[in-house]
Amino acid sequence: MSGPFGLILAVVQAVLGVRVGCRLLRTGRDTPIRSAPDAAIPAGSLGIIVPVLNEANRVRRCLEGVMTQGPQVGEILFVDSGSRDATCDVVREYARREGRIRLIQAGPAPEDWNGKIWGLHHGERALGASSEWVLTLDADVAPAPALGAALAARARERNVRLLSVATRQHVPDALQGLVHPTMLASLVYRFGRPNASVSSPSGVLANGQCCLIQRELLRTLGGFEAARGSLCEDITLARLAARAGERVGFFEAEDGLIEAEMYADWRDAWQNWPRSLTARDALFGIQGWLGLLEVVFVQTLPLVVLPFPSRGMLRRVNVLLMAMRIGVLCGIARAYSHRPWSFWLSPVSDVPVALALWRSALVRRHTWRDRSYVREKGSILAV
């Protein structure tokens, strides 16, 4: 692989590689969120909202965690959007044991609403006036007792009104250990390392599994309804906040503060994560497409190019990019509570993951939670 084509490829990779390298250097300079037992957070100032839909098999860990939250948490709302399993029965069981837990029936989401954001919207409307902060959690997370106070303390210390957590991930099998880390690495290439606060709409990253937002800011942005037509509602909300001049925080958390098991197996991850992983919404723009190009040319191609005979600039560039790829892999290792042996081989899935991301970004129709969505100019319509 040489000649003019090799030179052009090397130049493109070098330019995009510098973009990624600068991003990695300027992010990740803060510290992870730690427990804050002495934080003077007013009692009842946090309200937790957990949207649920057919979560009976995995919601108990979340319920066990939220009911141990300190007095800073005054309300815990589980918002159901039409579950057909025993989800509501499980929530009612825990509500009888913990007075702060309530079940809210939102009903099925309308056609032009993302189902999760529909639940969050109804939950926020049901919160009492004392809840100055809204903590949104997914049903697949297991929060530690100190989580709410720790997040509120970090928001106050860093003077941010919206932050989310890069949750510790649990990967149950070796096959998912090949796919999940590569997908996670694509976020690091496009948005940088966690433990940073960013004010650029194109550079913010958020994780709806665990997100804290000041209620006043949420209302200023138009409430959760502002992200009603997005398939990546967490990032859309963060982009809207950054566009309004806010710094948005994205942090890791110390061991045990919060853990998530996103997908049951590799098929579940492969079928469902690319839908939101592309982060394509109405604010995606040229920077979003450049990010997907970075996944191809900077993350994926070095492992493709290096086995072929090459020399000169092309080989030197790809050796450096391969070193970056190994560095990113080592960096995300701490994101997993348990790493199967396949984790260290996950770069072999870079090519199929890159193709899956581009396919997800380009196709109009997506399926999620038994609903089909059609993307129309950055928004969605359920069909």
Q: Give per-residue pLDDT as tens, 332-370.
A: 999 998 899 999 999 999 999 999 999 999 998 887 766
Q: Which residues contact 353 (CB under 8 A, 6 or more apart)?
A: 179, 182, 183, 186, 295, 300
What was the pLDDT predicted at 70? 93
pLDDT band with cut points at 50, 70 and 90 for residue 2 = low
Q: What are phi and psi of 210, to 5 degrees?
A: -155, 100
Q: Give per-residue pLDDT as tens, 85-101.
A: 999 999 999 999 999 99
What CATH number has the domain bearing residue 115? 3.90.550.10
Exposure of 353 by Cβ count < 10 A (0-12 exposed, 13-18 middle, 19+ buried)?
buried
Stretch 161-180: mean pLDDT, rounded? Answer: 95
What was the pLDDT predicted at 225? 95
Report how many domains make up the chain.
1
What was the pLDDT predicted at 264? 87
What was the pLDDT predicted at 376? 67
What was the pLDDT predicted at 349? 97
Name the residue range of residue 267's domain.
1-383
Q: In what order do the strands lie in the sheet with 258-260?
A: 141-143, 258-260, 168-170, 336-338
Read off the pTM. Answer: 0.94
What was the pLDDT predicted at 158? 96
- The runs of H, that is alpha helices, within 164-312 are 174-191, 215-220, 233-243, 266-277, 285-294, 301-305
For residue 130, pLDDT over 60 is answered with yes
Residue 341 C-alpha from the chain's centroid: 24
